[in-house]
Amino acid sequence: MKIKAPILTALIMSIFWGAFLSCSDSNKFEFKTGNIRNVFEAAKKSKKNVFVLITDSTCGKCKHFETFLKAQTSTISFLNKEYILYKADISNTDGRTVAEITKCPSYPFPYFFDYEGNLLAFGFPNNENFNVRNLDDVKIDQFKFSELYRLPITIENYKELVSLNMKATLLMSRDQSSKIKAFRLFQKSLDIAAYPYNLSKTSNNLQKLNMQNLNYRKKIDSYEVTASDKKLYKNSEYEEFVSSEVNPIEMATVYSIDKRTQDLGNIELSKPRKFNFTITNTSKTNITIKNVTHICDCIKFTWSKTKIRPKEYAEVNGVFTPFIDGAFSKEIFIHTDSYQPMTTVFITGTVK
């Protein structure tokens, strides 16, 4: 049977536009918002992972990143195929909850979960076009992790910590039996590390479930509050956990530092100024300074790479070259191989 030319043309055009629209849909970039539980339920039904972008609607950098991401057509096509995309905006309650679960240190920040709530990876891939086909490329080193999150745990520990708290949160809206399971997951996460989200949820659940109280006061007292915590957790529910700061130097049982804050006084613009901190080993085993960092290259560091024996000390030397005038407070991260892996010190002063 012969097909008439107009019909054949219409058939070809139909196939063409169908393929075109299908391709367009695969490159369409649209985040889901709202309750995170609904997102994971949808992901489970479709057997997809969940890509979470934690952002802040008042943040210019966040808007620029979304614009950049939309232009990465290959990446968008892959994400649409393998993931449900969710935007957690901290300016609303639903988005803030996700940021609280992850203890998100800055914005924007990407997280990758499976549909069960397990954290697979977090951070930015080591490439220019946000290619996330291989999640092994999505990683940060342990030093940077410690600086960002201020938790005395490994990256793998952190993944387990977030996974437990995400799973517990997903259970909380269900029946009483599920809430008890959620409490146990929150409690288990405390064995890894304490931070405002799991401390608060454990306390709240104990009250709601009328269960015996836990002795978690030491965990609260030893928690080091960060600048991002003050923005993220500063509300009535978390007030107890971020209202007072702990001086990690005073808490130290492994080493002590002669001064946590060093005032350099008045400094001339572009003129280098030297400073140093002395670290004394107060433990019974050797320790080594592994790294000393600051967020910009205006400070250069040198330090002893040899082991510090018990009761002995070593110096961290720095040279600060100011490029902007005005008052300053510079945070410096000191990493060691001890179980007190990182601590912070500061230099302050005024550039004239």
C-alpha triplet 307, 312, 315: angle, nearest 5°: 75
Q: In this structure, what is the dihedral angle of CA atoms 145, 151, 155, 161, given to the nearest 10 degrees?
A: -140
Whether 39 and 93 have beta carbons less than 8 Å apart is answered as no
DSSP structural state of residue 127: S
Q: How far is CA 100 from CA 139, 165, 276, in A?
A: 20, 10, 36
Q: Is the dihedral of CA 237, 241, 244, 245 positive or negative?
A: negative
Task: Please state, in angstroms and rounded to a whole number, the distance separating the CA atoms of residues 291 and 281.
Answer: 16
Residue-wise pLDDT tens digits, 48-106: 999 999 999 888 888 999 999 999 999 999 999 999 999 999 989 999 999 999 999 88
269: alpha, beta or left, given left = phi > 0 and alpha = psi -120 to 50?
Answer: beta
Instruction: Give the pLDDT of residue 307.
Output: 92
The CATH code of domain 27-139 reads: 3.40.30.10
Task: Please state, in angstroms and rounded to a whole number, the distance separating the CA atoms of residues 290 and 142.
Answer: 11
Instruction: Give the pLDDT of residue 254.
Output: 80
Instruction: Give the pLDDT of residue 16.
Output: 47
Closest by Cα among 127, 139, 130, 17 to 83: 130
Can you spell out the DSSP letters for 66-77? Answer: HHHHHT-HHHHH
Instruction: Give the pLDDT of residue 301.
Output: 94
Instruction: Give the pLDDT of residue 23.
Output: 46
- Give the residue ranges of the chain where pLDDT is below 50: 15-24, 209-214, 245-252
The CATH code of domain 250-351 reads: 2.60.40.10
Whether 60 and 15 have beta carbons less than 8 Å apart is answered as no
Instruction: Give the pLDDT of residue 215.
Output: 54
Task: Please state, in angstroms and rounded to a whole number, the distance separating the CA atoms of residues 173 and 175.
Answer: 7
* Maximum alpha-carbon separation in the chain: 97
